[in-house]
Amino acid sequence: MTAPGVVIVGAGQAAAVAAHALRGHGYRGRITMLGRERHKPYERPPLSKAVLVAPEEPGLDVIAQDAWERVDIDLRSSNEAVALDLSAREVRLADGQVLPYEICLIATGGEARTLASAPPGRSHVHYVRTIDDARRLRAALQGKPRIAILGGGFLGLEIASSAMAAGSAVTVIERATSLLDRFLPPEASAWLESGLQQAGARLMLGAALERIDILPEDRMRLSTDVGELEADEIVVAIGLTPNDALARDAGLEVAAGGGVLVDAHCRTSNEHVFACGDCTSQQRPGYETPTRLESWQNANEQARTAAAAMVGATAPAPAVPWFWTDQGRHNIQMLGLPAPGLEYVRRGDPATGKVLWIGHRGGVPLHGVAIDAGADLRAIRPLFEQGKPVLLDEFQQDATDLRAWAKQMRGGVRSTVQPPLKA
């Protein structure tokens, strides 16, 4: 009789990376992967960019076909897990099957938050979470429609840039009074707003949607508290909700703000169940409450950590959170996490070329933001990992070689803290 092995609930980025890592650690037992979609695990970041505008759809496989065959996974596509029995160590599927497990890994990701006034499935309303969602929007963009995007976060703004590149007229409706204000220093946010407007986007900031009316010829009128507009297509990009219902119903601990609660090794409150990716909340150093990180990097890092813990191997060192987004022809990268009360110093000028900000507390770098300066951000990454004060006045000087400066700062130089930049 075949041993139950590992059952992975979910078939996305984190699930595939975890399965690959298990094999890399020498695990030779059975790996069963359960996916709601009909597709093999694929990369999601291109869905809002290349998939919408590239002449040919890019390859999206998380694991190449030849490597997939070597990993030897029993992938059950279009077969959702509906219940988890912790005492019996079993997963029940929608089709009635029951799968036993030695170890279960929950990698169920998240769902797009929805609006009652723009429900999924309604004609001309789009939520971009899956490859099928992106293909549907791509088809709609062929007609160069007027697009209203509800939400000015990373996803909404990436879709806005792609839609404009495809020839559509774009309006972004955002509740906040500035774009990405939780992630960017004010200067960077202002630069982003200006660039989008110069590219032709209309921005309705500080605007709350009140209603959507269906007009003749499938047109729609959106009413907000600051004005109205008509659109042919609506894209809703207002965030993600973690898929933690399976864990919650099974009795696993779930964070107050949502997400399966995991420790530093991605263990849940049950010793035979692990979790990773967008469905999790994890306690992180320097934060009072568990946090969720919805990022490609975090999905990969947690997947590798979970796989190592599952087989008793040494886990990789915790990585400093890293995010990136493409906005038109510009690339924005972020290192670390923003926090209240950070002071920012800047190197370069966003109006003329690449620019890099360091958000610090007492001279200790905690948050880095780079516009078209990803190589510079990578050069100073060790300073974020070290967590010690640095000489910020030297960082701001254009003549300073950042790689050499970072090496010097790692040697332990007393910081002279600079005041925050004035607008």
Asked if the model's pLDDT at residue 332 lies above 60, the reply is: yes
411 pLDDT band, cuts 50/70/90, is confident
pLDDT at residue 418, as a whole number: 42
3-state secondary structure of 404: helix
Domains and their CATH numbers in the chain:
6-111+241-311 (3.50.50.60), 114-236 (3.50.50.60), 329-410 (3.30.390.30)
Q: Say what angle helices 154-165 and 186-198 make with each other, to 10 degrees.
A: 20
Q: Could you tell me the pLDDT band of residue 25, with boundaries at 50, 70 and 90? A: very high
The alpha helices in 60-130, defined as continuous H runs, are 65-71
Q: What is the mean pLDDT of the chain?
A: 93
286 confidence band (pLDDT: 50, 70, 90): low
pLDDT of res. 217: 85
Q: Hey, what are 82's tokens?
A: 């509906």
pLDDT digits (tens, 9 = 90+) for 158-187: 999 999 999 999 999 999 999 999 999 999
Average pLDDT over residues 3-18: 96
Tell me how far apart the alpha carbons of residues 332 and 349 are, in angstroms, rounded to a whole number.
Answer: 14
d(CA 261, CA 290): 8
Residues in Cβ contact with 288 at an 8 Å cutoff, skipping those fewer than 6 apart: none
Angle at 230 between CA 229 and CA 232, to 5 degrees: 145
pLDDT in tens, 313-329: 998 888 899 999 999 88
Give the 3-state secondary structure of residue 205.
Answer: strand
Alpha-carbon distance of 282 to 268, in angstroms, equals 10
The Cα-based distances of 40 to 62, 68, 85, 277, 375 in angstroms read 8, 10, 26, 17, 32
Per residue in 216-253, pLDDT tens?
988 899 999 999 999 999 999 999 999 999 999 999 99
Over 80: is that where the pLDDT of 285 sits? Answer: no
Contact 318, 330 (CB under 8 A): no
In the chain, % of residues over pLDDT 70 = 96
